[in-house]
Amino acid sequence: MKRHSTLVVAGWFACAVLAVAVGVGAVNLLGSGITDTAVQPMSETDVERELAVANASSPPPSAAPSAPAESSPAPSGSPSAGAATPPSNIRVFEERAGTVEVSCSGGMAAIDWLAPAQGYEIESRQDGPAEQVSVEFDGDDDEMLIVVGCSGDTPERISAGPAGDDDDGDD
């Protein structure tokens, strides 16, 4: 009987080792995608750098119609040092309630995109183009109004702070 118990334990142990070996082998066959570290979010600097590179690589819009685009070889070499600087007519304003990107053209501001922070939603917005654009973010405990205008063709924050309470009961 003792010998029978020893064989059962040895068989169970062999099956466990085999199962672990098969699991490790399967993970190795699937590649490193399963065991890679999680994707890290981009910082504001990284986002601005990527936007600048994307904006620098796209041609500016022209008033005259152009011929159909011809395929061209991909540019080679490294980007210039100035490519990391975003254009002066686009700025990202990041506040506790959310983030908004504004561009200016001809002294008129326009909201390109905006995103409320976690726990906030967009209460109201004036996208432009206009002399001033604004967005009001509404959170559980507070509201924030961001107003942006243009100084020439450069977006400038006019105000960012608590939104006034309108007391109209529509909240």
> Does residue 129 contact residue 108 with C-beta atoms inside 8 Å?
yes
The predicted pLDDT at position 57 comes to 62
Total structural domains in the chain? Answer: 2
60 CB-side CA count, 13 A:
5
Does 56 reside within a domain?
no
What is the chain's Cα-based Rg? 28
Does residue 92 form part of some domain? Answer: yes
Quote the CA–CA distance of 5 and 14 in Å, as a whole number.
14
Query: Using one digit for the tens of pLDDT, what is the confidence trace for 95-148?
Result: 888 889 999 988 899 988 888 988 898 888 888 889 999 999 988 888 889 899
Looking at residue 70, what is its pLDDT?
A: 44
Query: How do beta strands 98-105 and 132-139 pair?
Result: unpaired
77 φ, ψ (degrees, to nearest 5): 90, 180
Q: Is residue 110 part of a domain?
A: yes
Asked whether residue 97 is domain-assigned, the answer is yes
- Residue 93 maps to a domain: yes
Q: Is 60 exceeded by the pLDDT of residue 62?
A: no
Mean pLDDT of 86-90: 74
pLDDT reported for residue 39 = 60
Confidence at residue 69, expressed as pLDDT on a 0 to 100 scale: 44
- Report the mean per-residue pLDDT for the chain: 75
Residue 134 falls inside a structural domain:
yes
Task: Please tell me the predicted confidence (pLDDT) of residue 96.
Answer: 87
What pLDDT shows up at residue 169?
46
Distance (Å, whole) CA 27 – CA 41: 26
Of 84, 90, 104, the residue nearest 153 (C-alpha): 104
Q: Note whether 95 and 162 are same-domain residues.
A: yes
Flag whether 75 is in a domain.
Answer: no
- Evaluate whether residue 70 is within a structural domain: no
Residues 121 and 137 sit within 8 Å (Cβ to Cβ): yes
Q: Which of 5-14, 46-55, 123-132 has the lowest mean pLDDT?
A: 46-55
* Greater pLDDT, 108 or 30: 108
Mean pLDDT of 154-166: 73
More confident residue, 163 or 14: 14
Domain that residue 138 falls in: 87-166
